Amino acid sequence: MSSKFKVSHLYLWLVFIILYAPILYLAYYSFNSGETMHGFEGFTWHWYREVFADTRLLIILMNTIVIALFSSVISTILGVIGAIAIHRLRKLQNQNALLSLNNVLIVSPDVIIGASFLILFTMLGIKLGFASVLISHIAFSVPIVVIMVLPKLKEMSPTLLDAARDLGATEWDVLGKVVLPFIKSGIFAGFFMALTYSLDDFAVTFFVTGNGFTTLSVEIYSRARQGVSLSINALSTLIFLFTLALVVGYYMISRRGQNNSAGRKGRAVDWKVPNE
């Protein structure tokens, strides 16, 4: 029994090593005083200083994060509304039809979405820049949020809503005090998925950037033609730490949320753990 336990642990470790090794390798070389990733010559903060001295790169980084935050907030709101709307449809057939339309957007290639947006924006005479990037990021994130939220809604027992209504809750109360708290984890998951999608999207953004507004993925890609300098390693390490901090923050929040709700028995929030 105990040996089996160890093997599974070993496997888990192996997977994690494979997942994290490239990132650690990249982070390791961000401290290299040499010019390339072929051999470590000595420790230096040079590349980090270079990142912070490069105002243009910093502005691009900030733009990237701003776009990611705004687009994921807006698409989370839209996605939750969309998921609730799909869930409320009476006919299963209609639900499936809408869901398939939603899935088509997820599986269609980024390049196609990007090119379509480029054509749409130029047809409407919208200048390429902040707005065009934001709109397209929202557009490709909404279907993802819908997909993350919908299962949570399906999980929710209809009797819960009936009970709330029987106790005199208005539709708004039902939504704010029963439905949203119940699907909270789905909403957070959708938000973070949208955030990562937006942060790393290249293909769509590539088409719709313009007029001096650009994001990190597009910038790094066009720099790669000249060979990527180690300051990109430094930048990537910083972003990795930033996302790590976000995830840890999310973990803390959800832990605290669970503890809180566990302490307040009898509320609708506790539906998930009724036997505790």
Interface residues with other proteins (CB under 8 A)? 35-36, 38, 54-56, 58-59, 62-63, 65-66, 69-70, 72-73, 118-119, 121-122, 125-128, 132, 176-177, 180-181, 184, 187-188, 191, 206, 209-212, 214, 218-219, 221-227, 229, 253, 257
Give SS3 for 228.
Answer: coil
Beta carbon of residue 69, minimum distance to other proteins (angstroms, whole number): 4
Nearest CB to other proteins, comparing residues 11 and 221: 221
Give SS3 for 170.
Answer: coil
Q: How far apart are the first and last CA of the chain?
A: 30
Beta carbon of residue 109, minimum distance to other proteins (angstroms, whole number): 17
Beta carbon of residue 239, minimum distance to other proteins (angstroms, whole number): 14
Beta carbon of residue 129, minimum distance to other proteins (angstroms, whole number): 9
Nearest CB to other proteins, comparing residues 46 and 184: 184
Beta carbon of residue 265, minimum distance to other proteins (angstroms, whole number): 18
Nearest CB to other proteins, comparing residues 12 and 41: 41
Nearest CB to other proteins, comparing residues 157 and 222: 222
CB atoms within 10 A of CB 156: 16
| Structural contact between residues 84 and 153, judged by C-beta atoms closer than 8 angstroms | yes
Cα gap 149→164, rounded to integer Å:
21
Return the HEC string of 63-77.
Answer: HHHHHHHHHHHHHHH
Nearest CB to other proteins, comparing residues 91 and 225: 225
Nearest CB to other proteins, comparing residues 89 and 126: 126
172 CB burial (10 A radius; 0-12, 13-18, 19+): exposed
- The structure tokens listed for 139 are 């557009």
Of 189, 191, 168, 188, nearest in space to 178 by CA: 168
Beta carbon of residue 194, minimum distance to other proteins (angstroms, whole number): 11
Q: What angle do CA 165, 170, 174 make, to 5 degrees?
A: 70
Give SS3 for 268.
Answer: helix
